[in-house]
Amino acid sequence: ISGAGSQALGMAQSAAAQPFQAPAAPVAGFSADQNQAFQQYRNLQGSAQPYYDKAAQYYSPQGAQDFYNPMADQVMAQMQNIFGQQNRQNQGDLTSKAGGVGADRIAVGMGNLANQQGLSAGQTLSQLYTQAVQQAQSAGQGQMALGQNVFNTNMQGAGALAQSGTAQQQQQQAELNSPYQQQ
């Protein structure tokens, strides 16, 4: 018994002299899907910017020109025809009322008519431009919404890919943990 005890004690001392070798805990790396999702997230940076840039163009003064009624030139040409007819008729009426050419009231009457025509033309042009601005702003809002939708859709796709990759990583981690826990 004494020999066996001495042998056991010697083996215990030898084992105690050995450094403790703790196993390293395994860590599962990112899955291929996670890495792809990370890249997609990186690629999404600025993906909506072209839509926002187009929307900004619509909100600029030049943006309204894209929606300006192409018939505006014909409207203005017709107004000039009408104004010319009114001028001739007004001058004739004022001349006959004044008793001949040269009366100073003719110039006042012509000035009043020119003022009325200017107001009328301004109002018509204002309406045409207001319609163009409203259409441009509507198009700008549509571009911004489209850009946001594109971005959100791409974010959802990348998020789904990341979730799939996380499930794969968790499975791999569980597989690595099993032998570690046994050890």
State how far the Cα of 141 lies from the Cα of 17, in Å rounded to an integer. 77
> What pLDDT band is residue 101 in, cutting at 50, 70 and 90?
low
Averaged pLDDT for residues 161-169: 90
- Mean residue pLDDT of the chain comes to 85
Backbone angles phi, psi at 174, to 5 degrees: -60, -40
pLDDT digits (tens, 9 = 90+) for 74-89: 777 788 888 888 887 8
State how far the Cα of 67 lies from the Cα of 60, in Å rounded to an integer. 12
pLDDT digits (tens, 9 = 90+) for 36-49: 999 999 998 889 99
Averaged pLDDT for residues 90-111: 73
Return the structure tokens found at 25: 């805990």
pTM of model > 0.85: no
Return the structure tokens found at 174: 């569980």
> What pLDDT band is residue 11 in, cutting at 50, 70 and 90?
very high
